[in-house]
Amino acid sequence: MRALDRDFTEETATDIVLGRNEACSLPRLTQIMAVLVPHLHAVVRELDLTSAEWMAAIAFLTATGQISSDRRQEFILLSDTLGVSMLVDAINNRKLDDVTPSTVLGPFHVDGAPEMDMGGTISLDGRGEPLLVEGRVLDERGVPIEGAVLDIWQTSEDGFYDTQDPSQPDMNLRGVFRTGADGHFWFRTIVPASYPIPNDGPVGKMLAALGRHPMRPAHIHFIVSAQGYDALTTHVFLAGDPYLSSDAVFGVKEALIRDVLTSTDAERAAARGMQAPFKYLDTDIRLQHEAATLSQGPQE
Amino acid sequence: MRALDRDFTEETATDIVLGRNEACSLPRLTQIMAVLVPHLHAVVRELDLTSAEWMAAIAFLTATGQISSDRRQEFILLSDTLGVSMLVDAINNRKLDDVTPSTVLGPFHVDGAPEMDMGGTISLDGRGEPLLVEGRVLDERGVPIEGAVLDIWQTSEDGFYDTQDPSQPDMNLRGVFRTGADGHFWFRTIVPASYPIPNDGPVGKMLAALGRHPMRPAHIHFIVSAQGYDALTTHVFLAGDPYLSSDAVFGVKEALIRDVLTSTDAERAAARGMQAPFKYLDTDIRLQHEAATLSQGPQE
């Protein structure tokens, strides 16, 4: 094997690198390299990559690392905008067909949002158009789940999370709710807005060069968990948003889009602490049992 | 096309991302994405990458960018240690069979090294074992090239370049020489040493996890250029070095290895400003005409 190492050519390159990694005692790392190196080399070969393009790639990756900080993760943004994050999400969340699909967590979740009584409002400053969100947490057969915990977060009407916007109170538009025996939940909020992902860095430049906008359609984030069920990280998207078919991070799934409707029902308004006419969004969420048989992914 | 965008699955992921990039008006960038995205997605799919592994990859790439600086380029090191740099070099330097092969430039070249008269010494501090380097610059048919410029650099006997080592004088072990009508060149230096690439960062950790050492075998760098010929960036490696078959950056080619011999020839010693017995290394360098027909690379 070693004789090869002194004859590095276009033809021998991949075998030589993989041969060198044979001393690795970590089976998973060996496997990762055995997949990564051939694909990396194939990219170079198929593109007939020039030295100048290689140098541009080095500079792009370096800038992507250097703009990242405690408050910003540009490599996650790169992964998001190339569809890698959603693909990892899909592979790690193979579900039964009748279960609510997952989508990306995103960078704006905060631990420790306030636990609220059912029906509470997560809008602490009252800014924006009031919205009632209501539904049930069910299992894969439609049986209500008691004690499911919903961790909710969303943007303001201006498209900013509280952590991005000093004008919002701390923990604005964040809340944690727990279902009763009927699996029912409801809370009050405001209509969220579409917004751009950070686009003043290398990923923003890449999107611009690709002729792509940086927008995400308006959505409400949910993490729903319950004893004995797979935790679900997902969004509910608002029907009619102009970016539903071109989410910059590919997070939209048809099954996660819900209409925002207007109700004139004075009785429901009174029961839910709203003023008629009011906007509402109904959505059930279906979890699957931990031990449930997974639907087959498109594996070989 | 757009309907797909709301149904991101393991199966549709790659088509959706490539469809989104169709608005790109830069043909080469479109081509790069059309190759890069499917390979990136294939890596994730073939490995059944876990969310934790994805996060570890994000952290690794971020750290690789953040340790880079004006004095250190960790992404180039990553490219080097995965064989990508040498593969790019091979693709961009397809040569006739009889021509001296290229190898990596490396990060230690400095513009503006002093031009010296033929026979000058590039060892400014006299530390190390004296070495005579001698040869001819020839074309692909063996015809001497007049006025070829050789830009030379190498490490000290301790394995450090002057730019890494405050104890060395500025421009130590660097020099530029120009051949006369016979294509002949000779200069005096000291025997260079093998050395580790920087291994206190993410790439060093990766090599350690892979069970690989960070060493490069001892070598002398050459950039040789002449009017009407393709410039050649290469090394001469010293036979007998223990790392010749395991260069951390895959730079060794059999045709670049030369013996360091000992001469007792008093006449040659006198003519070359050496003291017999002395060490010497003979190496011819063959350039190819710019218009020469290239040997076929292993395309397809």
Helix (H) / strand (E) element for A182: namely none
> Rounded CA gap, B167 and B172, in Å?
10
CB pairs under 8 A between A and B: 228
Minimal CA separation from B9 to chain A, in Å: 6
Q: What is the pLDDT of residue A71?
A: 81
pLDDT, tens digit, 9 for 90 and up, residues B101-125: 999 998 899 999 999 999 999 999 9
Best probe of the A interface among B1, B30, B54, by most A CBs < 10 A, is B54
CB contact under 8 A, A209 and B24: yes
Cβ contacts of A79 on chain B, cutoff 8 Å: 54, 58
pLDDT tier, A144 (very low <50, low <70, confident <90, very high otherwise): very high
Q: Does B5 touch chain A (CB under 8 A)?
A: yes
Interface of A with B in 180-219 (CB under 8 A): 209-212
Full set of structural domains in chain B with CATH: 2-49 (no CATH), 81-286 (2.60.130.10)
pLDDT, tens digit, 9 for 90 and up, residues A13-54: 999 999 999 989 999 999 999 999 999 999 999 999 999 999
Residue count of chain A = 300
Residue B278 has pLDDT above 80, yes or no: yes
Cβ contacts of A246 on chain B, cutoff 8 Å: 2, 5, 20
pLDDT tier, B294 (very low <50, low <70, confident <90, very high otherwise): low
Q: What is the pLDDT of residue B71?
A: 81
Q: What is the pLDDT of residue B96?
A: 86
pLDDT tier, B297 (very low <50, low <70, confident <90, very high otherwise): very low
CB contact under 8 A, A84 and B5: no
> Rounded CA gap, B214 and B96, in Å?
32
Best probe of the A interface among B29, B84, B215, B257, by most A CBs < 10 A, is B84
Minimal CA separation from B270 to chain A, in Å: 36
For B246, the closest chain A residue by CA position comes to A5
CB contact under 8 A, B47 and A32: yes
Q: What is the pLDDT of residue A298?
A: 46
CB contact under 8 A, A68 and B63: no
Q: Does A16 touch chain B (CB under 8 A)?
A: yes
Mean pLDDT of B67-93: 95
Interface of A with B in 232-271 (CB under 8 A): 244-247, 250-254, 257
Q: What is the pLDDT of residue A95?
A: 87
Q: What is the pLDDT of residue B292?
A: 65
Q: Does B298 touch chain A (CB under 8 A)?
A: yes
> Between B35, B65, B85, which is nearest A47 by CB?
B35
pLDDT tier, B293 (very low <50, low <70, confident <90, very high otherwise): low
Q: What is the pLDDT of residue B97?
A: 85
Neighbour order of strands in the sheet with B174-178 = B174-178, B149-154, B219-225, B232-238, B257-258
CB contact under 8 A, B40 and A254: no
For A5, the closest chain B residue by CA position comes to B245
Q: What is the mean pLDDT of chain B?
A: 94
CB contact under 8 A, A62 and B65: yes
Cβ contacts of A92 on chain B, cutoff 8 Å: 50-51
Mean pLDDT of A147-165: 97
Minimal CA separation from A113 to chain B, in Å: 23
pLDDT tier, A6 (very low <50, low <70, confident <90, very high otherwise): confident
Q: Which of A34, A11, A23, A1 is nearest to B86 (CA)?
A: A11
**Radius of gyration for chain A, computed over Cα atoms and rounded to the nearest angstrom:** 23
Phi, psi for residue B51 in degrees, rounded to 5: -60, -40
pLDDT, tens digit, 9 for 90 and up, residues A106-127: 889 999 999 999 999 999 999 9
pLDDT, tens digit, 9 for 90 and up, residues B16-58: 999 999 989 999 999 999 999 999 999 999 999 999 999 999 9
Mean pLDDT of B267-279: 96
Residue B299 has pLDDT above 50, yes or no: no
Q: What is the pLDDT of residue A142?
A: 95
Minimal CA separation from A49 to chain B, in Å: 7
Strand partners, B262: B279
Best probe of the A interface among B8, B243, B300, by most A CBs < 10 A, is B8
Mean pLDDT of A148-171: 97
Q: What is the mean pLDDT of chain A?
A: 94
pLDDT tier, A292 (very low <50, low <70, confident <90, very high otherwise): low
Cβ contacts of A251 on chain B, cutoff 8 Å: 8
CB contact under 8 A, B8 and A82: no
Q: What is the pLDDT of residue A5?
A: 83
CB contact under 8 A, B209 and A257: no
Q: Which of A86, A90, A95, A222 is nearest to A152 (CA)?
A: A222
Q: What is the pLDDT of residue A291?
A: 75
Q: What is the pLDDT of residue B107?
A: 86
Give the DSSP letter string of A64-132.
Answer: HHHT-BTTB-HHHHHHHHTTHHHHHHHHH----TTSPPP----S---TTPPB--TT-B--SS--S-EEE
Mean pLDDT of A64-81: 94
**Radius of gyration for chain B, computed over Cα atoms and rounded to the nearest angstrom:** 23
Alpha helices in chain B (DSSP H): 13-20, 27-47, 51-66, 74-81, 84-92, 202-209, 266-272
Q: What is the pLDDT of residue A31?
A: 97
Q: What is the pLDDT of residue B70?
A: 84
pLDDT, tens digit, 9 for 90 and up, residues B196-245: 999 999 999 999 999 999 999 999 999 999 999 999 999 999 999 999 99
pLDDT, tens digit, 9 for 90 and up, residues B122-161: 999 999 999 999 999 999 999 999 999 999 999 999 999 9
CB contact under 8 A, B16 and A83: yes
Residue A229 has, within 13 A of its CA and on its CB side, a CA count of 28
pLDDT tier, A97 (very low <50, low <70, confident <90, very high otherwise): confident
Asked if B103 contacts B190 with a C-beta cutoff of 8 angstroms, the reply is: no
Residue A281 has pLDDT above 60, yes or no: yes
Best probe of the B interface among A40, A219, A230, by most B CBs < 10 A, is A40
Q: Which of A269, A187, A295 is nearest to B10 (CA)?
A: A295
Please, which residues have CB within 8 angstroms of residue B198's CB and are 6 or more apart in sequence?
B72, B74, B77, B204, B214
